Amino acid sequence: MQSNFLNFKSGIARTPPCSMAQGITTQNITIDVDLAREQHHQYLTALNELGISISLLEPEESLPDSHFVEDAAIIYKEQPILLRPGALERRNEVECLRNSLKAQLKFLELEKSDEGTVDGGDVLLMGEHVLIGISYRTNLVGAEALAAVLRTINPHLTIHFIEFSGVLHLKSGFVALNDKLLLGNPHIKLKRPLPIGEVIWLPAEEGYAANTLVANGAALVFAECTTTQAILKQAKLKPIPLDMSEFRKMDGSFTCLSLLW
């Protein structure tokens, strides 16, 4: 049975700007912007076909990573929360998102801090649990600030701080398939075992496919990752294979391209 926290009706995404090749990445590979936009369109089409209505924001050329909307905010129980990305170059994305959506959504915010940082890619919602990764982009001060806001929404929420290395974000390492089962990237290095859930570990060559987007009984997944698709079927999810090569070149994946609720 599909977990309620993985059922969605609405979402937000932003068209990739022509400047996206100037975004932050660990790879030195040429980006085909036209192909990226076509892949983004296919991604949005897949979400629409799952019954999710997406509000598509205009591209923001001054912010080359701004189509990765997940890092500037999260949505918990239909309540959006603005974050403070760890990369200085991405801080203006938060205000840009606020300005784009202020007529549509009312945001909660973290307590003001010059030290605290948190990327949405480090926040894994899993039923009545939230895992917040402590990473290169998210520090303990930021994680504690987010935890405080989350508890104003749900005082009974259990929040775990997860120290790790080896991948960019916590959701580069894990994604929840339901409230008890996770898909895992073997390249992630945990300081201590996860406190909840059972992990299905992917083969190393498909480790990056741990970031699938699970929604409404289906999972958006890299087209070339056939082993991952078979695992998703065994977990009673319908795989939707997509070519996302240009976003992978920018260290991006499925969950980072939308905010769903």
Q: What is the CATH number of the domain that holds 97?
A: 3.75.10.10
Structural domains counted in the chain: 1
pLDDT at 114: 86
CA dist 235 → 174, 177, 219, 241 (Å)? 15, 7, 10, 16
Q: Measure the N-to-C terminal CA separation of the chain; round to a whole number of Å.
A: 19
What is the biggest distance separating any 2 CA atoms in the chain, rounded to whole angstroms?
A: 47
Q: In which residue ranges of the chain is pLDDT below 50?
A: 1
CA 254 to chain centre: 7
Q: Which two tokens stand for residue 225?
A: 């990752």
Whether 256 sits among the annotated catalytic residues: the reply is yes
pLDDT at 115: 93
Whether 40 sits among the annotated catalytic residues: the reply is no
Catalytic residue among 40, 67, 169, 225: 169
The mean pLDDT value of the chain amounts to 96
Q: Which two tokens stand for residue 167?
A: 């991948």
How buried is residue 20: exposed, middle or buried, by Cβ count under 10 Å (0-12/13-18/19+)? Answer: buried
Task: State the DSSP H helix or E strand holding residue 147, giving kind and residue range, or none if neither.
Answer: helix 140-153
Catalytic residue among 40, 67, 225, 256: 256
Confidence (pTM): 0.96
Q: Residue 161: which domain range? A: 4-260
Task: State the DSSP H helix or E strand holding residue 66, giving kind and residue range, or none if neither.
Answer: none
pLDDT at 2: 60
